[in-house]
């Protein structure tokens, strides 16, 4: 029964009922419990496994439209479910909140039901989900935290013409962004993950901006002396469902836990961490070259907007920029002149417009992904 639920954990929009069905069929080694209810009274679950002295807390889908790391968390459960023995169970105690924001998951929104960004509520604690997370980290007293998110397709890695498929951050604990022993541990673990994963993703792993904001949960936890790592699941070429990306996130989770379990992270340095290329806003999903408008030739930058329609995510093309030369590169390019494409009815285009179709030599040319 558990496998039946697991096989349905695909795509960008996840069924919360299906995730719960999987959790309820886990073996008794996985201690599954309800830790509270969301603003709309959805149950919020935690899963605890392992009997070791080192405590690792992780949570996913704090933002309801960021589902890739949730898929990877269930991949982790499935891997550990199949293990007849794992050193993780002896040395680690792992506590996972698979979905912190179930209301956001259902509505496919970043915010919770009250339109609050939970990752800006770590200090004010105005939302019940924020209060639940705080209760967990206070009572559990973790040695390490993994804060699991998705990032947009706009991000690339500095110095590389590649999307940032994964990004990591050891958050700052103060305005000066100093490095103390706890932040160093997070940096070392990230450096260890980077070393292994960069073999699969050369130039495709970034280091997230470390501007200090105590309202963010990672900064709050680091400020409290808990080594915390931000995971950001990004874009891999043509993988808008993020099924390949989930595999990279799973590998990162597994490697991160292994580094903690074995203490092997200690051989890495702050310099190793700082050598990871920075994240930059570099890309549009699509650039249309040589499109004619008012007798001039322009480029159009398209960003896909994710919309939940009848239980599925549709990627709607939205004009993000129009110009002679755009400020960003494209993940994909099409040449309007070469394909004989033109604007429907000669419409004057502007930023913010939907642009689902162009006129083509053989009829309508679709810009839609789905």
pLDDT reported for residue 1: 52
pTM of the model: 0.96
pLDDT tens digits for 330-364?
999 999 999 999 998 778 899 999 999 999 988 99
Per-residue pLDDT at 88: 78
List all residues 6 or more positions away from 17 whose beta carbon is below 8 Å from its beta carbon: none
pLDDT at 217 over 80: yes
Above 90 in pLDDT, residue 251?
yes
Percent of the chain with pLDDT over 90: 90
Q: Which CATH class is domain 16-281?
A: alpha beta
Q: Domain limits of the chain?
A: 16-281, 283-366
CA–CA distance, 316 with 184 (Å, rounded to integer): 41
- In whole angstroms, how far apart are CA 139 and each of 39, 57, 173, 295, 299? 22, 11, 21, 66, 54
Report d(CA 63, CA 52) in Å as an integer: 30
pLDDT at 129: 99
Average pLDDT over residues 280-303: 93
Residue 307 predicted with pLDDT over 80? yes
Per-residue pLDDT, 345 = 78
**Tens digit of each residue's pLDDT (9 = 90 or more) over 63-95:** 999 999 999 999 999 999 887 667 778 899 999
Q: Please report the pLDDT score of residue 370 as a whole number.
A: 66
**Structural tokens at position 238:** 């043509």
359: which 2 tokens?
């006129």
Q: Give the dihedral sign, CA 95/99/102/104.
A: positive
Quote the pLDDT of residue 201: 98
| Residue 296 half-sphere exposure toward CB, CA atoms < 13 A | 10
39 Cβ partners below 8 Å, 6+ apart?
Answer: 103, 112, 113, 114, 127, 128, 129
User: Predicted confidence band at 216 (pLDDT cuts at 50, 70, 90)?
Assistant: very high
Nearest to residue 87, comparing CAs of 327, 257, 234, 239? 257
Mean per-residue pLDDT, 9-19: 97
């Amino acid at each position: 029964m558990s496998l039946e639920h697991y096989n349905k954990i695909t795509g960008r929009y996840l069924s919360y009922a299906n995730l719960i069905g999987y959790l309820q069929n886990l073996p008794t080694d996985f201690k599954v419990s309800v830790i509270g209810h969301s603003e709309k009274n959805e149950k919020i679950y935690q899963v605890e496994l392992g009997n070791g002295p080192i405590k690792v807390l992780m949570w996913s889908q704090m933002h309801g439209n960021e589902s890739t790391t949730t898929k990877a968390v269930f991949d982790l459960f499935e891997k550990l479910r199949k293990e007849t023995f794992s050193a993780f169970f002896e040395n680690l105690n792992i506590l996972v909140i698979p979905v912190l924001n179930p209301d956001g998951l259902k509505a496919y929104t970043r915010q919770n039901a009250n339109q609050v960004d939970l990752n800006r509520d770590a200090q004010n604690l105005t939302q019940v989900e924020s209060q639940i997370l705080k209760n967990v980290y206070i009572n559990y007293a973790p040695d390490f935290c993994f804060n699991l998110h998705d990032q947009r397709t706009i991000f690339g890695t500095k110095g590389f013409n590649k999307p940032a498929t994964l990004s990591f951050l050891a958050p700052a604990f103060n305005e000066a962004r100093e490095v103390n022993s706890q932040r160093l541990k997070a940096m070392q673990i990230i450096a260890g993950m980077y070393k292994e994963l960069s073999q699969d993703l050369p130039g495709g792993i970034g280091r997230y901006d470390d501007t200090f904001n105590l309202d963010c949960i990672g900064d709050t936890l680091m400020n409290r002396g808990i080594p915390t790592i931000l995971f950001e699941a990004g874009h891999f070429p043509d993988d808008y469902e993020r099924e390949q990306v989930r595999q990279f996130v799973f590998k990162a989770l597994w490697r991160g836990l292994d580094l903690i379990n074995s203490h092997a992270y200690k051989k890495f340095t702050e310099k190793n961490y700082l050598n990871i290329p920075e994240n930059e806003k570099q890309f549009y999903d699509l650039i249309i070259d040589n499109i004619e408008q008012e007798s001039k030739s322009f480029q159009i930058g398209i960003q896909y907007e994710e919309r939940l329609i009848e239980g599925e995510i549709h990627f709607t093309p939205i004009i993000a920029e129009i110009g002679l030369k755009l400020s960003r590169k494209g993940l994909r390019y099409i040449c309007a002149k070469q394909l004989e494409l033109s604007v429907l009815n000669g419409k004057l285009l502007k930023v913010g417009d939907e642009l689902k179709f162009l006129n083509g030599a053989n009829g309508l040319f679709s810009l839609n992904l789905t």
